[in-house]
Amino acid sequence: MKKLYFLIFFLITSTLLFAQEETFTFTGYDGGSASLVAATADINDAITIEIEDLDIINNFYSENQTFIHMYVGLRTASGSFQAVPGDFNDLSWQPVLNLTDGDAANGPNTYSITFIPGQLFPSLVNETILGIDFLFQNQFGGGGNNQTGDLFIDLVDAPLNASTLSTNDIAATKVNTSYSSGKLTITGVNTISNISIFNLLGRQVIDLKNVAINGTFSKYLDLPKNNIYIVKITSPNFSKTFKIVAK
């Protein structure tokens, strides 16, 4: 009997150890479209997506970009890019991939994100999801070499479960930011967050670590006027970016 209990314990432990998120790596991106096939992951699972951009200027302009954005929709029986959560030019809703190799000025540049894609698509609950369609774009908003070609991950077919939707991620859609008279204001955040601000050359100009935000955060910043900046807010539950204009 003890041997039987040990065997059951071993099988359960082994299952938990190997039930980790599946990683999809687009190696050596050269400007075209590409697809990968999942071995086990479906729309309800956490996955990691990585892209290695070889030519950081021509095929996809990632030079000096410490993060990139992911425009994403789902593949269903109705077609590709279904239920996209927002506009292509609106970067604020798009998942963010962070630079992982530490040097954005010299290629190749590699970016990564780990997330549960199903959490972005509450309108497709109970519908069978075949995969995810997406492309990456830099902070300049796509077009030409500011975006990649269409990419696809063929997931294991499965319905999107209601339990997959996280209240934390839904709450993140209510996060907003504004900048007026030198004051940055962030609303809709109720957790410790990191706040980073980048200019359009990709250089970080503000870096605020472990800021405790209880609903609203305000801070006067000395940002040069007549410039556009990208504000990135990161917490354990979400990551969002916004454009602000210093007038």
**pLDDT tier for residue 62 given thresholds of 50, 70 and 90:** very high
193: left (phi over 0), alpha (psi -120 to 50) or beta: beta
For residue 7, what pLDDT is reported? Answer: 43
**For the ranges 23-27, 56-60, 197-201, which has the lowest average pLDDT?**
197-201
User: Mean of the per-residue pLDDT values for the chain?
Assistant: 85
Segment 23-28 shows an average pLDDT of: 96
Give the largest CA-CA distance in the chain: 76
- Of all residues in the chain, what percent carry a pLDDT higher than 70? 87
Query: In the chain, where do the E strands start and end?
Result: 22-29, 34-37, 47-53, 67-76, 79-82, 96-99, 109-115, 128-137, 151-159, 176-180, 183-189, 192-199, 204-212, 215-220, 227-234, 239-246
CA distances from 193 to 33, 144, 179 (A): 35, 33, 18
Segment 234-247 shows an average pLDDT of: 84
**pLDDT tier for residue 91 given thresholds of 50, 70 and 90:** confident
Q: Give the phi and the psi of residue 84 in degrees, each rounded to 5.
A: -55, 130
Highest mean pLDDT among 108-112, 118-122, 137-141, 220-224: 108-112
| Residue type for position 217 | F
| Residue 130 scores a pLDDT above 90 | yes
Distance (Å, rounded) from C-alpha 157 to C-alpha 123?
A: 17
- Residues with Cβ within 8 Å of 152's Cβ and at least 6 positions away in sequence, in order, are 33, 34, 35, 36, 75, 80, 131, 132, 133, 134
- Residues with Cβ within 8 Å of 144's Cβ and at least 6 positions away in sequence, in order, are none
Give yes or no for a contact between 130 and 155, defined as CB atoms under 8 angstroms apart. Answer: yes
**pLDDT tier for residue 238 given thresholds of 50, 70 and 90:** confident
**pLDDT, greater one: 42 or 16:** 42
For residue 172, what pLDDT is reported? Answer: 55
For residue 166, what pLDDT is reported? Answer: 57
Distance (Å, rounded) from C-alpha 116 to C-alpha 44?
A: 7
> Model pTM?
0.67
| Residue 37 scores a pLDDT above 90 | yes
| Residue 234 scores a pLDDT above 60 | yes
